[in-house]
Chains A and B, each alone.
Chain A
Amino acid sequence: AQKITQTQPGMFVQEKEAVTLDCTYDTSDPSYGLFWYKQPSSGEMIFLIYQGSYDQQNATEGRYSLNFQKARKSANLVISASQLGDSAMYFCAMREENFGNEKLTFGTGTRLTIIP
């Protein structure tokens, strides 16, 4: 069974600093995808970044990058130059990419607070 672990319940970071949110995963499927979502207090889950298990390069989307270490089964999110608007819950998620089983499995999340 697939599992996502986020060990940081909360983090406080100074504005403009970089921040790394930790995520480890467990799966026996060779083909899978890793996702990061941001959830502000409004409740909507906002897609940030995706990494496929066969992707050779780490994914990047603007200020977001995913540090993918396949052997260690980790998929940490790095946010560069943090902004006040980055304060939110962040969820790591995984999907085993075999037909009929494409549901997302989420971790418990990390609450990120950016300090001015």
Chain B
Amino acid sequence: DAGVTQSPTHLIKTRGQQVTLRCSPKSGHDTVSWYQQALGQGPQFIFQYYEEEERQRGNFPDRFSGHQFPNYSSELNVNALLLGDSALYLCASSLDPENTEAFFGQGTRLTVV
């Protein structure tokens, strides 16, 4: 049984560009959350998707948007990239929004130059 998979693993983008990151949840999981982890920091919650809807959102600007597909996979889109968007982006899935155990992927390392 595959766990949470994220693609790509590494990405380099230029300031001002747009980027799309992808996440496939663990089999049977319908809830996907995205986190941003800057170097030397703990992960910060971006948003959560459940039943193809954004269920809750952290303190991130509208440049950060997402989508969840009928197969529960999810995308994170970031527009107008800033140097400060450089971070590890982690996807987590769970059986439902209230489930205690979230499984994380290995993350996508985004570098903005």
Q: Please tell me if A116 contacts chain B, counting CB pairs below 8 Å.
A: no
Q: Contact: A109 with B42, CB < 8 Å?
A: yes
Q: Please tell me if A25 contacts chain B, counting CB pairs below 8 Å.
A: no
Q: Mark A63-101, 1 if CB is under 8 A from B, else 0.
A: 000000000000000000000000000010100010111
Q: Contact: B90 with A45, CB < 8 Å?
A: yes
Residue of B nearest to A100 (CB): B56
Cβ contact of B109, chosen from A37, A43, A97, cutoff 8 A: A43
A47-B102 contact in complex given A100-B55, A101-B56, C-beta closer than 8 Å: yes
Q: Please tell me if B88 contacts chain A, counting CB pairs below 8 Å.
A: yes
Q: Contact: B109 with A108, CB < 8 Å?
A: no
Q: Please tell me if A20 contacts chain B, counting CB pairs below 8 Å.
A: no
Q: Contact: B90 with A104, CB < 8 Å?
A: no
Q: Please tell me if A29 contacts chain B, counting CB pairs below 8 Å.
A: no
In the assembled complex, the CB of A116 is this many whole angstroms from the nearest CB of chain B, namely 26
Q: Contact: B106 with A108, CB < 8 Å?
A: no
Q: Contact: B105 with A44, CB < 8 Å?
A: yes
Q: Contact: A50 with B106, CB < 8 Å?
A: no
Q: Please tell me if B32 contacts chain A, counting CB pairs below 8 Å.
A: no
A93 vs B58: C-alpha distance in the bound complex, in angstroms?
15
A14 vs B109: C-alpha distance in the bound complex, in angstroms?
32
Q: Please tell me if A105 contacts chain B, counting CB pairs below 8 Å.
A: yes
Q: Please tell me if A42 contacts chain B, counting CB pairs below 8 Å.
A: yes
Of listed A42, A97, A100, A103, residue having the most chain B CB within 10 A = A103
Q: Contact: B58 with A45, CB < 8 Å?
A: no
In the assembled complex, the CB of B44 is this many whole angstroms from the nearest CB of chain A, namely 8
Q: Please tell me if B92 contacts chain A, counting CB pairs below 8 Å.
A: yes
Q: Contact: A103 with B42, CB < 8 Å?
A: no
Residues of chain A contacted by B35 (CB below 8 angstroms) = 104
Cβ contact of A44, chosen from B40, B45, B106, cutoff 8 A: B106
In the assembled complex, the CB of A54 is this many whole angstroms from the nearest CB of chain B, namely 13
A102-B104 contact in complex given A45-B43, A45-B92, C-beta closer than 8 Å: no
Q: Contact: A97 with B98, CB < 8 Å?
A: yes
Given A43-B107, A106-B44: 8 more A-B contacts, CB < 8 Å: A44-B107, A46-B104, A50-B100, A91-B42, A91-B43, A99-B98, A103-B58, A104-B45
